[in-house]
Structure 1
Amino acid sequence: MSNKIFKRLAFPILIIIGLLAASFLVPVLYPDYDEIINYLKDENNKVIAAPPFSAEEMPLLGSDRLGRNFLLILIAGAKYTIFAALAIAALRMIFGFLFAVLYTFLPGSFTRTLKGLGESFQYIPLAIVVFALLAPLEGAFQGDALPSSRYFFIQLAGIAAITIPSLGIYLGEEMKIYLKQEFIEVSKIMGASRFHLVRKHLLPQFLRHSIVLFSEQVSQALSLLIQLGVILMALGGIKVAEFAIGPYEPSNPVYFSETNEWAATISMNIQQVFSNPLLVVVPLTLFSILILCINSISASLKKALIDSDVTTKRSVEKDKQPEGHVKISEDLFTFKN
């Protein structure tokens, strides 16, 4: 890996590591970071402000409707957002590969039907599908029958499960192309079993591109979390606060989250987007920065691990081929933009 690519990787990785480190330090340095503050007083013990506090009243970003420091809430919730995206991407990669292997060796008529369903499924917003899938559990969570931590992991599994078929079908189509190469056809003629083809050919080829694929899946997971946050579904769930001070209106409830991950902060404050836009814009900006870092890492890894290898192979093949002969190679297991 060249120094140029290493430098391109260092900056986004440092940003992500910095966010994670700060997220774990906030509860240690500020044990009461999520404490509810009903009002602020001046030196004369006179009430001067009620939540949500402005940036001047509670630096640097003000507070949410419960009076909690919004900056500390966001930093503390970063670890849940980042680890959730990593977990969803990992589940997609593992089970997507298994799905792809099954898809590859299924009869052609069956795979054509699956492919058609998969392509049509791409036009349906995944956030709506996830919401419909997890809606029954939302009622159990609101009724305290389902703990937030358990609901968190169920949501991760549900989000990953919804997106596995599309990745599996894509990888399966690439595997079919890869299995048509001459050296694999020779292996089949010599009696190679399907297990041998998977272990000796498909798995190594998949692992070569898995790092790039993984980073792409992380970005997609983060994008899906944003959409879920906008429609009031967040990891770990959100509940209506019953312990804040002030008048309550059924049409304007006050929400809180036990995880405070970034999608949850969007859900909690989406109704304040016009009166206090920072409560929604700031977590969206953090999501954008994180996705930008992941995309930068993905692009750098693709250039270092895949594009350079393809370029080298093409130059070697060009030297070996006679004049006038052109061979087109496939960049397998990589998403085409």
Structure 2
Amino acid sequence: MSDKRKWNFYLIISCIMVVFLLLIAIFGPALAPHRLTDSITIYQYGKKEMAFPPLRPFTYKEFPLGTDKWGYDILTLLLYGAKYTVFTAMGIAILRLLLGLCIGLWTGISKKKINTWQAVENSLSYVPSFLIIFFILWPISFYYNIKPILLILIFVIIASLIGFPTVAGTIREKTRQVYQASFVESAITTGSSKWKIIKNHIIPHIKEDIVILFVLEIVTAITIMGQLALFNVFIGGTQVEFDPVLYHSITKEWAGLVGQARDFIWRDQFVLFIPLLFLLYATISFQLLAFGLKKFFDKQYKRSRWI
């Protein structure tokens, strides 16, 4: 009885964190205290006061998280960029999972040899996916005539096509384990089609793994966005200034805000670390959710296996 009363704090906390993250992504621009084009304007006792960026956090109530080097409110940048960070990562995870499910289920129940497909999986596993994505996106990330939404769509498609073979391999192994079970063999002998076997037997037995895999793919997508940002490839496009050379994220997605502020590691570190904390928050939220879901599903399995 005591086991049933145990709370899954990982799942509870992560669900709260993820819901909060989704709310920020949906309502961020409406909650932002300033517009993206607004820069420093400080009033003290009804009079305008001179202030020089970057402003430190909690110094002025108008800029609770401070400003960047150019006087733009960091909180506003984060709230505007949240949707691009969260929904881009989720879009990649969804597309990877759909493609991985189709290929993984098909190869998992196929009796034919799939050496060619496994060779594709193995070859992609030896090369970091972000390197391939980087060399594809680098030539087009700095073209101002390409709309940010189109650049995001290109990134989602490329990241999904490069990453889904790994998902397909995981799904294939799970499918093979279920396909070799006695109840599936019984269904085959009674004349059930492959589609019915997949729908009625395989998917119900691997649905928990699919959910966890989806959450982990979100983490992977955010990680790739962070890696690309270190090389000035920002999701949605990179704006370049010369003399001196500076890189700016057009969409203000969180990885881009970290990448464009990495020069502040030696001075005014808050310009770098505040976006970095938000990016880590997003990563940890989904990582904890995956861990909490695994504990929840394991507990459900332990309860139901005696029925």
Q: Shared fold (TM-score greater than 0.5)?
A: yes
1:160 pairs with 2:152: no
Q: Tell me the distance in 2 between the aligned counterparts of 1:190 and 1:85.
A: 43
Q: Tell me the distance in 2 between the aligned counterparts of 1:108 and 1:276.
A: 60
Alignment match, 1:289: 281
Specify the structure having the higher radius of gyration (Cα): 1
Q: Tell me the distance in 1 between the aligned counterparts of 2:207 and 2:22.
A: 27
Pairs within 5 Å for 1:38-187: 47-49=50-52, 51-55=53-57, 56=59, 59-106=63-110, 109=113, 111-139=114-142, 142-144=143-145, 146-187=146-187
Q: Deviations over 1:143-191 (max 9, x none)?
A: 41x2111221221222122110111012112212221122222333333
TM-score, normalised to structure 1, is 0.77
Q: Alpha carbon RMSD of aligned pairs, Å?
A: 3.1
Alignment match, 1:298: 290
Tell me by how many angstroms 1:38 deviates. 7.1
Q: Return 5+ residue gaps in structure 1 as ranges.
A: 242-247, 317-337
Quote the sequence identity (%).
21
What SS does the aligned partner of 1:255 have?
strand
8 Å Cα contact 2:151-2:237 kept in structure 1: yes
Alignment match, 1:34: 36
Greater alpha carbon shift after TM alignment, 121-130 vs 34-43: 34-43
Pairs within 5 Å for 1:312-331: 312=303
Q: Tell me the distance in 2 between the aligned counterparts of 1:32 and 1:312.
A: 52
Q: Tell me the distance in 2 between the aligned counterparts of 1:82 and 1:196.
A: 35
Q: Deviations over 1:70-118 (max 9, x none)?
A: 1221133222212222222111211110011232255654x24433442
AA aligned to 1:150 is L
Greater alpha carbon shift after TM alignment, 66-75 vs 199-208: 199-208
Tell me by how many angstroms 1:26 deviates. 4.9
8 Å Cα contact 1:19-1:75 kept in structure 2: no
1:311 pairs with 2:293: no
With CA pairs under 8 Å and 6+ residues apart, which has the higher RCO, 1 or 2? 2
Greater alpha carbon shift after TM alignment, 2-11 vs 273-282: 2-11
* Number of aligned residues: 302
Q: Tell me the distance in 2 between the aligned counterparts of 1:220 and 1:314.
A: 32
AA aligned to 2:155 is Q
Q: Tell me the distance in 2 between the aligned counterparts of 1:38 and 1:60.
A: 12
AA aligned to 2:130 is A
What SS does the aligned partner of 2:239 have?
strand
8 Å Cα contact 1:152-1:235 kept in structure 2: yes
What SS does the aligned partner of 2:138 have?
helix
